[in-house]
């Protein structure tokens, strides 16, 4: 039996109409991401990376073309189905951390489980375990403004993992961090890939991060210009 890719983009276009102008942000993108791969999507500012991330993360639908998730055409799913799919299958990590400032670390981490109806006792136990695994077992009651940038990103990683997603989608996860914190974050993602067989999709403009992944997708002017297999250094 031929294995279906986990995510497949087939001739995907994303077009915006700005008054009389037509802006093609993605132009005929084809991409397959297989279960357990570590893929970097890289390109300069304005290359369409964020728009591509929204397609890969099923946050948006294409203007033309098809996006398949586990063999299903996402255009056939309701918004409620898509939200459930994202909640269960994809953990998102953002450059800006996106933590809620009024909540403690443990409250931020447990938040996605509330929408999946996980019992309170179970979600608190899981969040404590995850925060310990990212080195923040003694910071669970701290709010974001009491944590460094690197610590906030680690809270965000724990939050991304709380529903045990198959895919971790990281958008410039080291962009707001110093080099040491950035390396720690990348080492964590590498560990989740190697040890827990997670599918990692990293969106970045930083060429230094390419060496962590197995496959690099180069994006320019909304088009995939090349896809290269890497020999991982880490």
pLDDT at 4: 79
CA proximity to 86, closest of 70, 64, 99: 70
The full DSSP string for 110-146 is: HHHHHTTT--HHHHHHHHHHHHHHTT-TT-TT--GGG
The confidence band for 141, taking pLDDT boundaries of 50, 70 and 90, is very high
**CB atoms closer than 10 angstroms to residue 23:** 10
pLDDT > 80? residue 201: yes
Summarize pLDDT for 47-61 with one digit per residue, the tens.
Answer: 999 999 999 999 999
Does the domain at residues 35-65+78-229 carry the CATH identifier 3.40.50.300?
Answer: yes
Q: Which of 15-29, 111-125, 158-172, 188-202 has the lowest mean pLDDT?
A: 111-125
pLDDT > 60? residue 151: yes
pLDDT > 60? residue 233: no
The confidence band for 15, taking pLDDT boundaries of 50, 70 and 90, is very high
The ranges assigned to domains in the chain are 35-65+78-229
The structure's pTM equals: 0.91
């Amino acid at each position: 039996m031929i294995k279906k890719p986990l995510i497949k983009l087939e001739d995907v276009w994303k077009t915006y109409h700005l008054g009389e102008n037509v802006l093609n942000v993605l132009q005929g993108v084809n991409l397959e991401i297989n279960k357990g791969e570590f893929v970097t999507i890289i390109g300069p500012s304005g290359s369409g990376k964020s728009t591509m991330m929204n397609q890969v993360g099923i946050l948006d639908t294409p203007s033309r073309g098809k996006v398949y998730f586990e063999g299903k055409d996402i255009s056939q799913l309701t918004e409620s189905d898509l939200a459930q799919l994202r909640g269960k299958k994809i953990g998102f990590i953002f450059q800006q951390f996106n933590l809620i400032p009024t909540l403690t670390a443990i409250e931020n981490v447990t938040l996605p489980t509330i929408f999946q109806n996980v019992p309170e006792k179970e979600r608190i136990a899981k969040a404590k375990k995850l925060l310990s695994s990212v080195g923040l077992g003694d910071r669970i009651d701290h709010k974001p403004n009491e944590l460094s940038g690197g610590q906030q990103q680690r809270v965000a990683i724990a939050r991304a993992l709380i529903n045990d997603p198959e895919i971790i989608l990281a958008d410039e996860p080291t962009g707001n961090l110093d080099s040491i914190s950035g390396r720690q974050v990348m080492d964590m993602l590498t560990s989740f890939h190697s040890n827990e067989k997670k599918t990692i999709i990293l969106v970045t403009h930083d060429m230094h991060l390419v060496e962590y992944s197995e496959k690099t997708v180069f994006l320019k002017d909304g088009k995939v210009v090349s896809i290269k297999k890497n020999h991982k250094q880490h």
